[in-house]
């Protein structure tokens, strides 16, 4: 059989995009200003993929008054996977 007379075939890769929303908490931030700086850093790092970033004051523990803060943020990550 003469293979030179057959048209060229191309194999296309099949891909699948997966979008995940991931929630993370930064805990025991010592003061509100530091928490605000962390939120600003996250906005610069993730841009529009940062869906939300909430700061809340932690409740006092058994040892007395707690003056720490928690920054909880949600980011969107998209990954493209090659199926075959």
pLDDT digits (tens, 9 = 90+) for 9-25: 777 889 999 999 999 99
pTM above 0.75, yes or no: no
Query: What is the CATH architecture of 15-82?
Result: 2-Layer Sandwich (3.30)
C-beta separation of 68 from 30 below 8 A: yes
Output the six-digit token pair for 58.
Answer: 């932690």
HSE (side-chain half, CA atoms, 13 Å) at 62: 0
In the chain, alpha helices (H): 32-46
Q: Residue 67 and residue 60: Cα distance in Å, rounded? A: 7
Mean pLDDT of 26-41: 95
> For the chain, which residues make up each domain, given as ranges?
15-82
């Amino acid at each position: 059989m003469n293979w030179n007379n057959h048209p060229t075939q191309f194999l296309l890769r099949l891909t699948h995009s997966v979008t995940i929303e991931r929630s993370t908490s930064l805990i025991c931030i010592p003061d509100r200003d530091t928490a605000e700086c962390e939120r600003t850093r996250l906005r610069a790092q993730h841009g529009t993929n940062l869906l939300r970033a909430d700061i809340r004051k932690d409740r006092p523990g058994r040892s007395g008054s707690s003056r720490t803060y928690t920054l909880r943020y949600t980011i969107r990550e998209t990954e493209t996977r090659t199926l075959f």
